[in-house]
Amino acid sequence: MNKTLLVATYEYKHHVTKKRFWLTLLLLPLGFAILILLSMLLSRSSYDFRPIGLVDKADIISLEPDNSAKSTFFNPQIYLHTFPDEAGAKKAVETGEIQGFAVIPEGYLASYQLDYWTNKQPAGEVQSKIIGFISQNLLAAEEADPAILERLSSGNQISLESLDGKTKSDGTGWHKIFVPILVGILNLIVVMYSGGYLLQALVEEKENKTIEILLTSVPPREMMIGKIIGNLSVGLTQIAVWALILFAGLIIFSDRLSFLADIELSGSYLAVSLALLLISFIFTAALMATIGATMTSIQESQSVTGLIVLPMMLPFYFINVFISNPNGVVARLLSYIPLSAPLALSMRMAFTSVPAIEIAFVFALLIGLTVLMIWLASVAFKRGMLQYSQKLSLRSLFKKEVNHA
């Protein structure tokens, strides 16, 4: 155990003392900030920030909309106007006075379902403006029903419909996929950087034969586990630093990032996402170690790395599937694959209620596969690290080792 910790400590110090580590650590957040700024510039040019209308059929609106706030680039304001009926609101849309209007149906307090009539996809601020104003009116009632207060905390559902009634959608907001995509990006970066370094280091040690010296003092299994722990610690350090930078940015620019208030994030959701991220990284690190022990050159290992990254990115290509059918076959299948599970299950939990027994099954499956991969990595490390010119086959890993007298 002491040798394992020594290897882990060496790997960690060797990694974090490199200039490349700190450049990546600091430049990546800067790169993301630039990308976010560019996306905001593009979105601001395409979004419609004209006023919106509201038709109250449930007779719950008693306050006048507050349109006094000044609109800025980082905090654009969409002003709200009330209309007595749908005919007047539709006419205002046709003349360009408003971009669309929401209808509060008579049975709203039972369903909390809203219809928003428009001819184009509205900006995310539209939903926040409508729901915020309705909630403000319900809370302003002299005798607010406790059941209403409890229901407000669980949110509203807005259905988008075109003015001709031919197109309809559930109005899923960007804020629901923000956190899952962030989890997926974090997983990709940490695995590609820390896991990629582990793979490259193993192949280099094998090529220059320094592994012979190391294996004379440290057993193969302890060395492999120490390398995984060391690289896992590097990955956690990256995430911790980025989290601090993000937290500091949110505090400094909180007045200009009010749109982030739409993001829904529960403690259980965050815990499951981070736990999946941790298990996935351990699994991938063991997989990288297995590949590194079986390959004979860096070029060969780099070609295989792409095959590891591809499954991790699959949920990105099926975002529409997760939105429309989060409990469908495709979404569930991607939740059971170790490399795609962190993003896939995180996406499903964002759009639907995933049964606790299924979450437990996914965790049990991933943990079992991770233990198997760690064992496989230790076998590959023991048998493959001293084979310099011959590539170790997958079949040979499961053969019983024969000791010659």
> 343: closest CA among 373, 376, 384, 311?
311
Residues 6 or more apart whose CB falls under 8 angstroms from that of 113 comprise: 105, 156, 157, 159
Q: For the whole model, what pTM was predicted?
A: 0.64
Reduced 3-state DSSP string for 351-367: HCCCCHHHHHHHHHHHH
Q: How far apart, in whole angstroms, are the C-alpha atoms of residue 61 and residue 82?
A: 9
- What is the spatial distance between Cα 269 and Cα 16, in angstroms, rounded to a whole number? 30
Q: How far is CA 275 from CA 37, 282, 294, 342, in A?
A: 30, 11, 29, 8
Query: Cβ atoms within 10 A of the Cβ of 11, count?
Result: 24
Q: How far apart are CA 14 and CA 230, in angstroms?
A: 10
The span from the CA of 325 to the CA of 285, in Å, is 32
Radius of gyration (C-alpha) of the chain in whole angstroms: 27
- Asked whether 239 and 186 are in contact (CB, 8 A), the reply is yes
For residue 313, the number of C-alpha atoms closer than 13 Å in the C-beta half-sphere is 9
Q: Is residue 116 within 8 Å of residue 171, measured between CB atoms?
A: yes
Task: Label residues 93-106 b or e (16+ Cβ within 10 Å = b).
Answer: beeeebbbbbbbee
**Which residues lie closer than 8 Å to 122 by C-beta, 6 or more apart?**
47, 48, 52, 99, 100, 116, 160
What is the model's pLDDT at position 357?
92
Strand partners, 114: 158
pLDDT tens digit sequence for 240-280? 888 788 778 767 665 555 555 555 566 777 788 888 888 88
Among the residues of 257-336, which ranges form H helices?
A: 267-294, 298-317, 319-324, 329-335
Residue 364: band (very low, low, confident or very high) from pLDDT cuts 50, 70, 90: very high
Which letter does DSSP use for residue 81 in this model?
E
- Tokens 């979450």 found at: 359
Q: Which residues contact 327 (CB under 8 A, 6 or more apart)?
A: 348, 352, 354
Alpha-carbon span 192 to 207, nearest angstrom: 21
Distances (CA, A) of 216 to 8, 294, 314, 379: 17, 20, 42, 17
Q: What is the mean pLDDT of the chain?
A: 75
| Token reading at 333 | 């299948």
Of 402, 368, 381, nearest in space to 215 by CA: 381
pLDDT tens column, 53-103: 888 888 888 888 887 777 766 667 788 888 988 888 888 888 888 888 888
315 vs 290 pLDDT, higher one: 315
Helical packing angle, 267-294 and 196-207, nearest 10°: 20
Q: Which domains does the chain have, with CATH numbers?
A: 2-38+175-397 (no CATH), 48-169 (3.40.190)
DSSP, residue by residue, 85-136 = SHHHHHHHHHHTS-SEEEEE-TTHHHH-EEEEEESSPPPHHHHHHHHHHHHH
Q: How far apart are CA 210 and CA 207, in angstroms?
A: 8
Q: What H or E segment, with its residue span, contains residue 80? A: strand 80-83
d(CA 348, CA 350): 5
Average pLDDT of 161-180? 56
Average pLDDT over residues 213-220: 73
Side-chain-side CA neighbours of residue 86 (13 Å): 10
- Band (201; pLDDT cuts 50, 70, 90): confident
Two structure tokens written together for 102: 């929401």
169/225 Cα distance (integer angstroms): 49
- Measured between alpha carbons, how far is 244 from 80 in angstroms, rounded to an integer? 37
Cβ(75)–Cβ(258) under 8 Å?
A: yes
pLDDT-wise least confident of 118-127, 315-324, 332-341:
118-127
Name the band, by pLDDT with cuts 50, 70 and 90, for residue 156. low
The residue among 216, 283, 208, 226 whose CA lies nearest residue 15 is: 226
> What pLDDT is stored for residue 276 in this prediction?
85
